Structure 1
């Protein structure tokens, strides 16, 4: 089952995936901050925004980690031909990563309680 991604890809679809992923991470963070549990210690120290950002980051890491393992399961030769072959699943995961990067950058600028050093870890 060969699923390669051609160079003449549909950039509109890629932009849609990136923006949709950014929006999904914003919605996840909103849901966590609105309905997520907060311990009394975290609430008293005022670090709940940081913990919600960490939980959102954990969800991203989990999804991308599962996707990467799935890519290497589907295409074992991907580690040998990293730059010569383009696989659709790997391209999709890259778009999701870019969506999270945009989300996290927006969050760093939007919330002053989040340390600005978080912006530079990307």
Structure 2
């Protein structure tokens, strides 16, 4: 153990050791739920848009939007990049959130947020 002083405060630094047990291949196969891809955007000014994501092998896209902890809501849409069509859209209320999913999809999508306050976030999952 070594002690250091930073601006008059004393803190002890220690080294910790963690032991992780390896999982058997049979146990790993039994708990495998597949891989989920995701993209997101975080509002810094008043808007943002995510990078793109393709619909998964089950042809669905799930979305979630959070307006953050502010008084202002947030407008959003999930847009098909190939056709320009919105497949879901809405506006959350103050400090609100929205989520859902769309199925029978075969394209590439992104989530767009606008008229939002700092801290709003949107995400897509496939």
TM-score range for the pair, normalised by the shorter chain length: under 0.3
Q: Which protein has the bigger strand share?
A: 2
Instruction: Determine which structure has greater relative contact order: mean sequence separation of CA pairs < 8 Å that are 6+ residues apart, divided by chain length.
Output: 1
Q: TM-score normalised to the size of structure 1?
A: 0.23
Q: Which protein has the bigger helix share?
A: 1
